[in-house]
Structure 1
Amino acid sequence: MELIDKLSILADAAKYDASCASSGAPKRSSRGKAGVGASDGMGICHSFTPDGRCVSLLKVLMTNFCLFDCQYCVNRRSSNIPRARFTPEEIVRLTLSFYRRNTISGLFLSSGIIRSSDYTMEQMIEVARQLREVHEFRGYIHLKAIPEADPKLLEQAGRYADRLSANVELPTLTSLKTLAPEKELGTIHSAMGQIREGIDAANDDARADARHPPRSANPKRQAPRYAPGGQSTQMIVGADATDDRTILQSAQQLYRSFRLKRVYYSAFSPIPERPAGLPQAAPPMLREHRLYQADFLIRTYGFQAEEILGGPGNLALDIDPKLAWALNHREAFPVDLNRAEPGMIGRVPGIGLRSVQRLVELRRHRKIRFQDLVALRCRLETLKPFVITQDYRPADAARDSQRLRETMTAPEPAQLALI
């Protein structure tokens, strides 16, 4: 098979792994053929760094052959799809070719399981080894960790990769046993725990070197890196009846247990010849987006999953989770921005964390006025019912949540046509 044909198949097959992609991507579907150049094929994907930079990555599978028969996966053993496989040398050649043409900044490499978990992991490590040691590649490398692989292989992978990810795929043990009975949640957690320990050990060594620089012939010697970009995972949304509250609770536990950088959410995509029991249609993409918003509240704003969704069920699609929380807790508002704790200011819809920091700094010098919120470019129409400043108090502070919600989610009137 020609290299371009392999790339067409294996880049398209990689699009279902959201572990390096942002939410709100074009609709993913397995129906029909998508070439490398198609935006939904994701031969080249775009990820975003914490400082907002967009990074382009070559995103491919080493192979879409797989020993496993996970029902939700288009690459499952029983799936009737075109198959292909790269050699490590071919992936290295593709990565360097794209990189030298300034098309990508790095590589995201995953794979189906072939022969054995150890063999598959060895092949992926060989790609990273050749890039780092033979070609002195300094770009970004993200490797998918195979949970069933020997721990020594995961240790080796972390020395070459900037980030590792072991996908839990489904949020509960029951879901995994139903849709992917050949996978073990305990094995996945064990791999994630090993990666965490490797990152912690590398960080401890780096701090020790900083305090007591080693006396050696090479003054530039540093503690060896291990996955300095941390680890991430992915959960599929909508492949079964698991609700958003359970998904967010599972994500929260993963953050606490393994100190993940990110949990990615991937809306289930209907697959050809789907097994019985899988949904006929994909969930709304807006559901995936709301989960990302709620996840951000957990990671950054200090919310608990139980706060965001007090009981079983899914997130509202018509409003974002932060606004929904504020509407459900009207007793906590309006918040006096000149007196409130920073954490409470951060819970005001329409005020982001940077604005919180600037408001706290500003009120050390003078009272906060409404015009300060304008200058900070806060979302004024959203925050008006929830704040008090020196010169502003909401006239509708006593309005009930339902009426306020109807006002804030009402569709905007259509614009008049210009004549």
Structure 2
Amino acid sequence: MRILMIGAGGVGDAAARIAVERDFFDQLVVADYDLSRAEATVAAAAARRPGESRLVAAQVDASDEVAVAALAGQHGATHVFNAVDPRFVMPIFRGALAAGASYLDMAMSLSRRHPDEPYAKVGVKLGDEQFAMADQWEESGQLALLGMGVEPGLSDVFARYASDHLFSSIDELGTRDGANLAVYDEDGNETFAPGFSMWTIVEECLNPPVVWEKARASAGGGVESGFFTLPAFSEPEVFDFPEGIGPVECVHVEHEEVLLMPRWLDAERVTFKYGLGDELITILRTLHTLGLDGTDPVRVKGVEVSPRDVVAAVLPDPATIGPRMKGKTCAGVFVTGTGKDGKPRRTYLFHVSDNEETMAEYGAQCVVWQTAVNPVVALELVATGVWSGRGVLGPEAFDAKPFLDLLAAPKPVGYGSPWGLEDR
């Protein structure tokens, strides 16, 4: 396997540090618009393994599908790993197809609101542009694995595992994400600094969240009829997260799991709720009120800039806040329904990432590390033939057990990152 990874930000950098410990690939090309950043990632990752020579740095414009295809061809890439924000999904997706390479991402193509009823009906959904090209990928014999981060990604793997091994029927697949993370300034005072790309946080949290219901799908004649939207921050609930994180208020957020799970798994309802916290919700609402969540360029003193790009630029880079962050983050799926024994069952399948541990072992803060480890595991399963397929697929399309076993197995056999299960 020869991998072209596009993006040397927080997640890409962590992915390289994780991947370099494994033997499943022959080459990993780390490409970024900023060549110096790609070179820094290659140097840091290679230093983790004496004599390492499989990593190469390159420069690429992720918005240029021709450039992506050319770089993949230059290095003979068999797989393109998209580690940049969702704005660049489609050019990288199309570039990989043109290059004859398989593809993996952690976030799907962007949505567009319904023009008339955005808080009731879906418009262009997350991933619609990619699924529209499914026939081309199928005909090419190549695999495009969508949404293979932590959420989406590991959460979808958990859902498939629950469907196969724990439940005979499912009422709700409810992804629930929460944390007790705090970031401190140089004086030891708690400060605001998002643990993930602020551009992506704004996109996810201010768009109308999508919910899927089987009853709507049945009445409408298919899976696509089951999707509908709600106002942002709808239906708050307090969810109790494990390993000392505790109760966190969670709200509906637009997310890929809701768009992926119903395509492969049988459930009455699919939701995603995220523990944002009052401070972040207030900030997001203020950004929206001021128009600072917009992506269309505005002219400022003769220069055109995107308001959201400015917001992201003035906040700390998520890749740099690890030394000042404390706490844990938890990703998982709360599944309700009927167990294999015919009795009612409520089970939370989860994975917790501790910032102190990821910083000590990988020099990566826990949010980006938890996102980065899952695509590396998936690539290893593809490289070894344990996972195989063609066309545009989600994590739910594959057997979950080999993934979870490899993730949890102690090093060097596995990745040494256990997951948990709680019946409630």
Task: Decide: shared fold, TM above 0.5.
Answer: no
Q: TM-score, normalised by structure 2?
A: 0.27
Q: Larger Cα Rg: Structure 1 or Structure 2?
A: 1
More strand by share: 2
